[in-house]
Amino acid sequence: MNPQPLLNNPILQRELTSRLRSPNALIALAIVALVSCGLVLMRWPAEASIDLVSQGSIQVFRPVTYAIAIAIMMLSPAFPATAIVSERKKGTLVLMLNSPTPPWMVYVGKLLANVLLGVLLFSVSLPAIFACYAMGGISITGHILPLLMVFLGMAFQYSALGLWVSSRSQSIDASLRWTYSILLFLVVLSIGPSVLVGKLSGIYAWIAQALTTLSPIPALQQITGALGQSKSIGISTGWVEYLIMCAVSTIGLAIATLYKLHPNMMDRARDAGKVIEAKESSWFRRISYLVDPNRRKSGIPFWLNPVMVKEFRTRKFGRLHWLLRLIAVGAVVSILLTVVAATGTVNWGVDRIASSMVLMQIGFLLLLGPSLGANLIASEVESGGWQLMRASPISPWRILTGKLMSTFLTLLLLLFATLPGYVMMSYIQPAIGGQVSNVIISLLIATAMVTILSACVSAYSKTSAAATAGSYAVLLLLFAGTLLIWLGRGNPFGPVFVERALLINPAATALAEMKAPGFETFQLIPKGWYVGLAICAAGLIVLILRIARLTRPE
């Protein structure tokens, strides 16, 4: 195959040039380089010697590996998730598909532009990786080359995922929301079936192991020498299986996206509306309009915040049927997890079951919270609705509380949906009743943090897409970044520094209270509560000042 047409792809050149000129891309590259090199410098030996059998370099190599993997997970899907839907909204997608450039070249250009950006992202960390190699205990063929191949596979898979979702989305924020939702399933939730049926055999065990190959976590654990931890919970896949699944999933997503990029698929019928007969406009209809609940919504009581009611009635996830679906999913998963563990399918204790439920709840908060909170203010500013709201007689404080409560109550319902699982665990082991109460308090603080921080990002963003991506980045950095420091406990981070870093993470506070593996020695309550409440208070002050500025007459 002649690579010259591929290199001369105009879509590739345009996409790559525009993204490299973005200040956000330069900031992301600088952060990845500084973090990876900083982790190595903290553990760099004072003497000019190396140790070929020491595990010290592995203990530094592991947090560096996970730091780069988290950066790829956070940044790689963002650009492709908006690549196609933004072209459609601007009206340039149809022109592009009807140009002499074939659709497959359009797709390849957008895919390779994002993959090359991902390669650039983990290439800035190569000095840190080879510094670990210079420390001894790490080989090029056994560690570095497999790691780079896994990073490349992640860049291809997540780029193809973002383009596939973008080709089927109607708005940029919805595309980002669904992309990160599916990404959470690929990375974390795909491991769950293998853990639950790890001791079984047959077709169910085979399906569970196949789903596990979608996640890069087992591959990274094998490369960094932590495969024993995976095998202890029933995971037996490695980086070879992950690369095979990356290739299969990337090709499948590419075929599905190219099917949607056909010019004929862009033609969408416009809704003609309903045809109303003349007899429906009679005097009887006019009178029944005043009392018929199907004809007219009930008024908002004086004791309810009208902004909160407006949010619940207009957004998709505020509708009753969506809330009931979310509550049902959370309740069923929590009870199923407790029942499966209690019946002996997996040999877990109550503490480990509770730790899994905490991770599930935090996953739900990180999945749904940014998509709700990021649209509170940015979407109003982008659509022009903020001008109407500012001209209304509603005070800025009432606007702020209404929007915050609409998100907080939704997340609170989702949090309470998992309480039946905790009730069952308290029934199985009554001694953990106090621990369960402390865990619930920690999760309430986590819910408030997710709501306030997402709203802060939304208040300082001009578009809902930027607010959604920024909210996911901030919250993942807060929750996953501190766990990355916990992963490097002992080398290069000391126990005091790790404990102080975990204080800002309510999820770590809940895990420490339930004595999760690796958190037994940390005492984070009540200091973790105070730090979390302080973060919420500081974010609320920043948000109040910003809302006061936005509602000020021009």
Which of the residue ranges 39-48, 80-89, 121-130, 366-375 would you say has the lowest mean pLDDT? 39-48
Nearest to 186 by CA among 229, 156, 226: 156
Q: Over the range 167-192, which residues count as b (16 or more CB within 10 Å of their CB) and which as e?
A: bebebbbbbbbbbbebbbbbbbbbbb
Q: Which residue has the tokens 């004791």?
A: 303
Rounded mean pLDDT, 483-504: 76
Which of the residue ranges 32-36, 94-98, 323-327, 447-451 has the most confident prediction, judged by mean pLDDT? Answer: 447-451
User: Rounded to whole angstroms, what are the CA distances from 348 to 204, 306, 352, 356?
Assistant: 20, 47, 6, 10
Which of the residue ranges 87-91, 280-284, 290-294, 506-510 would you say has the lowest mean pLDDT? 290-294
Which of the residue ranges 84-98, 276-290, 294-308 has the most confident prediction, judged by mean pLDDT? Answer: 84-98
Which of the residue ranges 37-51, 104-118, 210-224, 428-442 has the most confident prediction, judged by mean pLDDT? Answer: 104-118
Which of the residue ranges 111-115, 217-221, 429-433, 515-519 has the most confident prediction, judged by mean pLDDT? Answer: 111-115
Alpha helices in 53-202 (DSSP H): 56-75, 78-90, 92-97, 103-123, 126-134, 145-167, 172-187, 192-196
Is the separation of the CB atoms in 230 and 222 below 8 Å? yes
More confident residue, 484 or 531: 531
Which of the residue ranges 60-74, 443-457, 461-475 has the most confident prediction, judged by mean pLDDT? Answer: 443-457
* pLDDT for the residue 352: 64
User: DSSP per residue over 319-332, as a string?
Assistant: SHHHHHHHHHHHHH
In this predicted structure, the answer to whether residue 319 has a pLDDT above a threshold of 70 is: no
Q: What is the pTM of this model?
A: 0.73
Intra-chain end-to-end CA distance of the chain, in Å: 60
Is the separation of the CB atoms in 107 and 257 below 8 Å? yes
User: Rounded to whole angstroms, what are the CA distances from 239 to 189, 244, 395?
Assistant: 18, 9, 56
Handedness of CA 243, 245, 248, 249 (dihedral sign): negative
* pLDDT for the residue 535: 92
Distance CA 501, CA 483 (A): 9
**Average pLDDT across the chain, whole number:** 76
Which of the residue ranges 1-10, 86-95, 214-223, 275-284 would you say has the lowest mean pLDDT? 275-284
Going by pLDDT thresholds of 50, 70 and 90, the confidence category of residue 343 is low
In this predicted structure, the answer to whether residue 151 has a pLDDT above a threshold of 60 is: yes
In this predicted structure, the answer to whether residue 187 has a pLDDT above a threshold of 60 is: yes
Distance CA 310, CA 41 (A): 52
Number of Cα atoms under 13 Å in the Cβ half of residue 370: 28
Nearest to 366 by CA among 505, 471, 511: 471
**For the chain, what's the residue count?**
554
More confident residue, 154 or 336: 154
In this predicted structure, the answer to whether residue 161 has a pLDDT above a threshold of 60 is: yes
Going by pLDDT thresholds of 50, 70 and 90, the confidence category of residue 534 is very high
Nearest to 135 by CA among 192, 58, 239, 229: 58
* pLDDT for the residue 52: 47
Contacts of 499 (CB under 8 A, 6+ apart): 522, 523, 524
More confident residue, 297 or 15: 15
In this predicted structure, the answer to whether residue 458 has a pLDDT above a threshold of 80 is: yes
pLDDT digit string (tens) for 232-247?
555 566 788 888 988 9
* Domain assignments of the chain as residue spans, ordered by start: 4-265, 306-550
Distance CA 357, CA 361 (A): 6
Which of the residue ranges 162-166, 200-204, 302-306 has the most confident prediction, judged by mean pLDDT? Answer: 162-166
Q: Over the range 342-366, which residues count as b (16 or more CB within 10 Å of their CB) and which as e?
A: beeebebebbbbbbbbbbbbbbbbb
In this predicted structure, the answer to whether residue 98 has a pLDDT above a threshold of 70 is: yes
* pLDDT for the residue 278: 46
Task: Please give the backbone phi and psi of residue 511, each rounded to the nearest 5 degrees, phi first.
Answer: -65, -40
Reduce the DSSP state of residue 297 to 3 states and report it. coil
Q: Which residue has the tokens 């898979």?
A: 157
In 459-524, DSSP assigns E strands to none
Reduce the DSSP state of residue 489 to 3 states and report it. strand
Beta bridge partners of residue 536, listed in sequence order: none
* pLDDT for the residue 533: 92
Going by pLDDT thresholds of 50, 70 and 90, the confidence category of residue 204 is low
Distance CA 87, CA 97 (A): 11
Distance CA 300, CA 475 (A): 34
Distance CA 349, CA 335 (A): 15
* pLDDT for the residue 71: 81
Going by pLDDT thresholds of 50, 70 and 90, the confidence category of residue 1 is very low
H/E stretch holding 308: helix 306-314
pLDDT digit string (tens) for 37-60?
777 776 666 555 555 445 556 777
* pLDDT for the residue 53: 44
* pLDDT for the residue 488: 65
Going by pLDDT thresholds of 50, 70 and 90, the confidence category of residue 345 is very low
Rounded mean pLDDT, 510-522: 79
